[in-house]
Every structure is written in structure tokens, then in C-alpha cells.
């Protein structure tokens, strides 16, 4: 019997390929809004994904399952959110597609959810699954929803919309699609409608809304310019005129790099090869994993003993074992200086510049140190 994890990996690869084909079609033939968002993060990765799509479905190795889980999680969340919103009875379309062009560049937007709560209101919801919710929306996601809202606005009365059971190869206008699928008569003029969009960030425990965003000509123009640049790079890479190594990469630390399929020879990680140190790095990784498990086990054990002491009702008294004793002690929280509160208290007595210089002088900087950065080569 084949190992379950291998089967899972195979299954995920198939599902991913089928899903991409059924919902997004041949992605090599257009630039999608998510490609534009990706290019905001890293042009090299966006170009490589577009120029060599087959690698996405054949990814192997340690990170492959993680990559697929990350990909699938997005679909699972999207399905759940769609079901929940549909259950409220709000009229909505899922998986709406807009097939547009900017000059010679084919651009497509695939919108997760579009609600039509009233005949003069259209609301786009872009679902994003996250490991942990960010405080602010990611620039890549914002570019994507600005592009979606902008295209919906600018293509409103053109036969460029596809979606739902409307499987014809011929597109229809947005009002015609909504009339056909939801039975709602929208105005023929987009100016008579309020279009808004939101990003719904979902993690395993929480959800957070970013927006609302409205159609913005400048942002749509920025998205179209990125699409053009990306399209030209893809054609040049495919034709062998531009090596991937010459394309701009993400700047600064970027969480995507760890999962990026193109990180093995990314110029961002340029250096020398020393395969003899592989074992040492693997052992370091194991040690860190052991440390994390140990920290967790210590916390669990402490929680349990605190619970036992509390349940015993002993208050400040100890519980003695054979060679050890313990009790749960009530401690005050740590005291720290609230810089904002201090600055606002001082603002009544001193000018702003003086306060800033006092705070600057009171800052303490630790000695510089070296940090070992370790990453995975995919
Ligand atoms: S490894 Fe990072 S910088 Fe390099 S292509 Fe991938 S995402 Fe871009």
C-alpha cells in the first residue's frame, strides 16, 4: 500500500490542476488579477509561474504538501464563506469572470463573490486565507480588488462577463448576467450604481474585513500597467530573450520566498555551494523543533500544576511532594513605560520637538548582533 502522504500529494496535485483548468481556463493566455497581485510582491515569481505553469502541479519535496495545503485551504475557506453568505438569502454570484483587454494584453478578473443587495448596489468580496491575520491589507491583495472593482466599473455595459450557469462562450454585459442569474434588473448606466469591494481575510480562528474599496481610475491604470509589464516579461522569457535571473525580485524579507517554487536559483539568495553543511542545518532545524515542543510541554505541565493547586483551595500554601514543593503564585503584570501616554502627558507642558528629542535621548539600543538566517531550497 502506497504511503498515505504520497497519495495525498498526488490527489492534491490533480485537484489543483483540475480546479485551475475548470475555473481559470488556460492561464497562459491572459494575465489574471492574482498574477498582477503576485507581480506586486515579486515580478520574477509572477513571470516564472506564468511562463512555466507545469511546475506548479509537479512540485515535489518537503514543501510540496505544505504548498498544496496552503492552496487548498483557500478553496475550502472560499466554499464555506460562499455557503454562509448564500444561506442569508442575499443575492450573490460566485466565480464571476471578466475577460478584458488593455491594448494587446488580455486581462481577466475572477471574482470570488459578488453580492447584489439592492438594484443599485454591487459589492465584491475577495476571500483571502491567511495563516495569521495581518493588521493591514497586503498591497498585492489591494491591487487585486482595485483591479476587480475598476474592471467591473469600466466593462459594465460591455459583453465581457461570464459566470454561474451562463456557460456560453459569448460574454454578456454585467446587467444582463445579473438579470439572467439573479432576476435583478440593474441600471444600464454604471454611474447609477454604487460599487464597493472588500477583502475578507480568514484564518482558522478569525476573520477580518479590509476596505471598502471603490473603483479608482488611477489604481486600475496601475494594475493595467503591471499587467502589461508582466505580459511582456512572460513573452520574452518564453522566447528565451530574457533569463529569469535578470528580472526584479522581492525586496527585503519576504514570507513568500520560503514557499516560492523558484527559490532554488533565485539571485536574491546568491552565494556559494557547500553541500557538506546540509546535515548540520538539518540537525539545527531538528533541535529547534525539539526546543519548541519542549517549551510547549513545559507550558502544558505548568498549567496542569497551577490547576491542581487552585483546585486544592490552599490559597498561599504549598503542596509538598517527596523532594519538591509547589504553589501557584499571583504576580502583578510587568511594568513598562507607555511612550504614547508619556508623550501625550508631556504635550501639555512642552513643545512637540522637545518631547521627541527627550524620548530619543531616553532610548536604549542593544549591541548589534548576528542572526542566522536559514531557508528551504525548493
Ligand atoms: S525566492 Fe523570493 S525573491 Fe526569489 S523569485 Fe521567489 S518570491 Fe521572488
pLDDT tens digits, 248-285: 998 877 888 888 889 888 998 888 989 999 999 999 99
Residue 256 in contact with ligand 1 by CB distance below 6 A: yes
User: What does pLDDT average to over the chain?
Assistant: 88
Please state the rounded mean pLDDT for residues 55-73: 68
Higher pLDDT, 165 or 67: 67
**pLDDT greater than 70 at residue 198:** yes
Indicate whether 346 belongs to any domain.
no
Name every residue whose Cβ is closer than 8 Å to that of residue 256 and which is 6 or more positions away in sequence. 41, 42, 45, 250
Residue 45 in contact with ligand 1 by CB distance below 6 A: yes
Question: Residue 48 CA: which ligand 1 atom is closest?
Answer: 5
The count of C-alpha atoms lying within 13 angstroms of the C-alpha of 215, restricted to the half-sphere facing its C-beta, is 17
Indicate whether 288 belongs to any domain.
no
Please state the rounded mean pLDDT for residues 314-331: 91
Indicate whether 349 belongs to any domain.
no
- The predicted pLDDT at position 76 comes to 86
Range of the domain at 168: 4-269
The string of DSSP codes covering 224-281 is: HHHHHHHHHHHHHHHTTSS-GGGS----S--THHHH-TT-TT-GGG-----GGGHHHH
Beta-ladder partners of 106: 101
Question: Residue 254 CA: which ligand 1 atom is closest?
Answer: 2
Which CATH number covers residue 264? 3.90.320.10
Ligand 1 center to 126 CA (angstroms): 24
**pLDDT greater than 80 at residue 71:** no
Please state the rounded mean pLDDT for residues 288-314: 95
The string of DSSP codes covering 270-297 is: -----GGGHHHHHHHHHHHHHHHHHHHH
Indicate whether 43 belongs to any domain.
yes
- The predicted pLDDT at position 176 comes to 93
349: confidence class by pLDDT, cuts 50, 70, 90? confident
Indicate whether 277 belongs to any domain.
no
Indicate whether 308 belongs to any domain.
no
Residue 250 in contact with ligand 1 by CB distance below 6 A: yes
* pTM for the structure as a whole: 0.74
Question: Residue 263 CA: which ligand 1 atom is closest?
Answer: 1
Among 49, 63, 257, residue to substitute to test ligand 1 (most atoms within 8 Å of Cβ): 257
- The predicted pLDDT at position 63 comes to 65
The string of DSSP codes covering 307-328 is: HHHHHHT-TT--EE-SS-EE--
Question: Residue 267 CA: which ligand 1 atom is closest?
Answer: 4
- The predicted pLDDT at position 55 comes to 62
Q: Give the 3-state secondary structure of residue 372.
A: coil
Indicate whether 246 belongs to any domain.
yes
Please tell me the total count of domains within the chain: 1
**pLDDT greater than 60 at residue 59:** no
Question: Residue 261 CA: which ligand 1 atom is closest?
Answer: 6
Indicate whether 85 belongs to any domain.
yes
Ligand 1 center to 244 CA (angstroms): 11
Residue 44 in contact with ligand 1 by CB distance below 6 A: yes
Is there a contact between 116 and 122 (Cβ–Cβ < 8 Å)? yes
Ligand 1 center to 376 CA (angstroms): 12
| H or E stretch covering 73 | helix 64-87
Would you say how long the chain is, in residues? 378
Instruction: Copy the grid coordinates of residue 290.
Output: 525539539
Residue 266 in contact with ligand 1 by CB distance below 6 A: yes
Ligand 1 center to 54 CA (angstroms): 18
- The predicted pLDDT at position 221 comes to 93
**pLDDT greater than 90 at residue 48:** yes
Peptide bond between residue 212 and the one before it cis (omega within 30 degrees of 0) = yes
328: confidence class by pLDDT, cuts 50, 70, 90? very high
Higher pLDDT, 256 or 217: 217
Q: Give the 3-state secondary structure of residue 214.
A: coil
- The predicted pLDDT at position 327 comes to 93
- The predicted pLDDT at position 359 comes to 85
Higher pLDDT, 300 or 261: 300
Q: How far is the C-alpha of 56 from the C-alpha of 50, rounded, in Å?
A: 10
Distances (CA, A) of 159 to 55, 271, 371: 34, 52, 56
Question: Residue 256 CA: which ligand 1 atom is closest?
Answer: 7
Higher pLDDT, 265 or 54: 265
- The predicted pLDDT at position 377 comes to 86
Is there a contact between 224 and 107 (Cβ–Cβ < 8 Å)? yes
Amino acid at each position: 500500500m502506497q504511503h498515505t502522504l504520497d497519495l495525498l500529494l498526488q490527489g492534491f496535485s490533480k485537484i489543483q490542476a483540475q480546479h485551475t483548468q475548470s475555473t481559470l481556463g488556460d492561464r497562459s493566455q491572459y494575465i489574471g488579477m492574482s498574477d498582477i497581485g503576485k507581480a506586486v510582491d515579486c515580478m520574477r515569481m509572477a513571470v516564472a509561474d506564468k511562463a512555466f505553469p507545469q511546475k506548479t502541479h509537479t512540485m515535489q519535496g518537503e514543501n510540496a504538501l505544505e504548498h498544496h495545503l496552503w492552496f487548498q485551504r483557500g478553496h475550502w475557506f472560499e466554499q464555506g464563506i460562499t455557503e454562509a453568505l448564500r444561506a442569508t438569502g442575499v443575492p450573490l454570484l460566485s466565480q464571476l469572470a471578466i475577460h478584458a483587454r488593455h491594448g494587446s494584453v488580455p486581462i481577466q478578473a475572477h471574482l470570488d463573490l459578488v453580492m447584489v443587495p439592492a438594484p443599485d448596489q454591487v459589492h465584491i468580496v475577495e476571500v483571502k486565507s491567511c495563516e495569521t491575520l495581518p493588521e493591514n491589507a497586503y498591497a498585492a491583495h489591494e491591487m487585486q480588488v482595485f483591479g476587480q472593482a475598476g474592471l467591473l466599473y469600466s466593462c459594465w455595459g460591455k459583453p465581457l462577463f461570464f459566470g454561474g450557469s451562463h456557460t456560453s462562450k459569448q460574454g454578456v454585459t454585467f446587467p444582463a448576467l445579473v438579470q439572467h442569474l439573479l432576476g435583478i434588473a440593474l441600471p444600464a448606466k454604471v454611474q447609477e450604481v454604487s460599487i464597493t469591494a472588500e477583502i475578507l481575510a480568514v484564518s482558522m480562528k478569525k476573520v477580518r474585513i479590509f476596505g471598502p474599496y471603490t473603483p479608482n481610475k488611477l489604481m486600475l491604470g496601475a494594475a493595467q500597467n503591471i499587467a502589461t509589464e508582466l505580459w511582456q516579461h512572460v513573452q520574452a522569457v518564453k522566447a528565451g530573450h530574457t533569463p529569469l535571473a535578470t528580472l526584479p525580485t522581492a525586496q527585503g524579507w519576504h514570507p513568500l520566498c520560503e514557499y516560492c517554487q523558484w527559490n532554488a536559483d533565485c539571485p536574491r539568495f546568491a552565494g556559494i555551494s557547500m553541500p557538506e553543511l546540509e546535515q548540520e542545518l538539518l540537525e539545527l532545524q531538528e533541535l529547534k523543533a525539539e526546543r519548541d515542543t519542549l517549551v510547549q510541554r513545559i507550558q502544558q505541565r505548568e498549567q496542569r500544576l497551577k490547576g491542581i493547586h487552585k483546585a486544592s483551595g490552599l490559597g498561599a500554601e504549598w503542596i509538598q511532594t517527596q523532594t519538591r514543593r509547589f504553589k501557584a503564585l499571583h504576580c502583578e503584570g510587568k511594568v513598562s513605560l507607555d511612550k504614547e501616554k508619556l508623550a501625550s502627558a508631556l504635550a501639555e507642558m512642552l513643545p512637540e520637538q522637545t518631547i521627541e528629542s527627550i524620548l530619543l535621548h531616553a532610548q536604549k539600543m542593544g549591541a548589534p548582533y548576528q542572526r542566522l538566517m536559514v531557508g528551504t531550497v525548493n
